[in-house]
């Protein structure tokens, strides 16, 4: 089975690191409640304040629908608010 993978790289200042981590659970809960096709996510901390969020979706359509909703719920908004800079966002296929 193939799935769609969203790979987002972003920067978070050291002062906001704890905010990001505190908001993660709410973001995941909101995704589970509101995003069809959400399969799971892994948050990876890199050196220098960079992070990679790897989110797995059932299909490209599910990912597109999620992206269209943006930060529509408080848990998602809180997570997005802790991000200082978006570096890149890519979509791929996991085999």
pLDDT tens-digit series, residues 41-63: 999 999 999 999 999 999 999 99
Q: By three-state DSSP, how is residue 40 classified?
A: strand
Q: How far is CA 17 from the centre of its chain?
A: 15
Q: Can you tell me the mean pLDDT for 28-51?
A: 98
85 bridge partner residues: 11
Each domain of the chain, given as residue ranges in start order, spans 3-94
> CA-CA distance, 27 to 43, in Å (whole number)?
12
Q: By three-state DSSP, how is residue 66 classified?
A: helix
pTM of this structure: 0.95
* CATH 3.30.70.100 describes domain 3-94: yes
pLDDT at 1: 85
Q: How far is CA 62 from the centre of its chain?
A: 14
């Amino acid at each position: 089975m193939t799935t769609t993978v969203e790979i987002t790289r972003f920067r978070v200042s050291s002062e906001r690191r704890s905010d990001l981590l505190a908001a993660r659970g709410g973001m995941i809960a909101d995704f589970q409640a509101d995003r069809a096709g959400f399969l799971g996510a892994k948050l990876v901390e890199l050196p220098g304040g960079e992070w990679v969020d790897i989110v797995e979706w059932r299909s490209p359509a599910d990912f597109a629908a999620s992206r269209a909703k943006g930060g529509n719920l408080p848990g998602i908004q809180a997570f997005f608010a802790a991000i200082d800079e978006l570096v890149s966002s890519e979509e791929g296929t996991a085999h």
